[in-house]
Amino acid sequence: MTTHLTTQRASQATPHPTERSATASAPAGVGKLTDPAPDRTTDQDPEAVIAEARAGIDALDAEIVRLVRERMALSERVQRTRMANGGRRINLARENAVLRRWRGELGEPGTTLAMTLLELCRGRV
């Protein structure tokens, strides 16, 4: 990974803010968001490289769907518990914290993605 520097002197070098590592908050087994996939394009046929990459994308998509469903179930549990104890179904402060976290990790598209997740997870409680 190439690190952009915000200063010219190496003794004061700090990573550029856009190159934050997600491993500190990522679940076990999840790599850094900034780590690129291994580049094997020089040794293989382009069609094989594309097919391999697409298979990886499809596997990731299946895992993402599984994780979203798991998130939906956990969110429903939170909502039911909160409502059973006199609370509201939606906690706007929590949702705003989620939006900020996703925006911090992925920029504005992260906000859009988080809004979609929150909508999916509000459920039918």
Higher pLDDT, 18 or 77: 77
92-110 per-position pLDDT tens digit: 999 999 999 999 999 999 9
- Residue 21 domain flag: no
Distance CA(33)–CA(27), nearest Å, equals: 12
- Write the DSSP symbol of residue 31: -
- Residue 51 domain flag: yes
- Residue 49 domain flag: yes
Instruction: Identify the CATH number of the domain in which residue 50 sits.
Output: 1.20.59.10
By the 8 A CB rule, do 122 and 82 touch? Answer: no
Structure tokens at 102: 């996703």
pTM over 0.75? The answer is: no
- Residue 28 domain flag: no
> In total, how many domains does the chain have?
1
